[in-house]
Amino acid sequence: MKKPDDEPREEYDFRGGRRGRHSREFAEAGAVVRLDPDVAIRYPTSDAVNEALRSIPVTRRDNGGDPGDL
């Protein structure tokens, strides 16, 4: 097995690749959000992030929508 090379190649061959190969998995998994490092230390898992977000009181939207629709 070849050792991974940390340097980028001058060219890459994508002839055997397929466009959108993982798009279904991303769509099914939900939103992907990148956290800043200081936030990620405090909220290391998606469960921790979701719990913190759910603890924030929800107010009515500007358009008068039901907070349950958020």
pLDDT tens across 11-70, in order? 999 898 888 888 888 878 877 888 999 999 999 998 999 999 999 987 766 555 555 555
Residue 14, in any domain of the structure? no
Residue 5, in any domain of the structure? no
Residue 50, in any domain of the structure? yes
CA 31 to chain centre: 5
Q: Which domain holds residue 45?
A: 33-57
CA 54 – CA 16 distance, rounded (Å): 44
pLDDT of residue 60: 62
Residue 28, in any domain of the structure? no
User: Tokens standing for 25?
Assistant: 């998995």
Residue 21, in any domain of the structure? no
Counted domains in the chain: 1
Residue 23, in any domain of the structure? no
pLDDT of residue 48: 95
Interacting residues of 70 by C-beta distance below 8 A, sequence separation 6+: 58, 61
CA 39 – CA 49 distance, rounded (Å): 9
Residue identified by tokens 């980028």 is 8
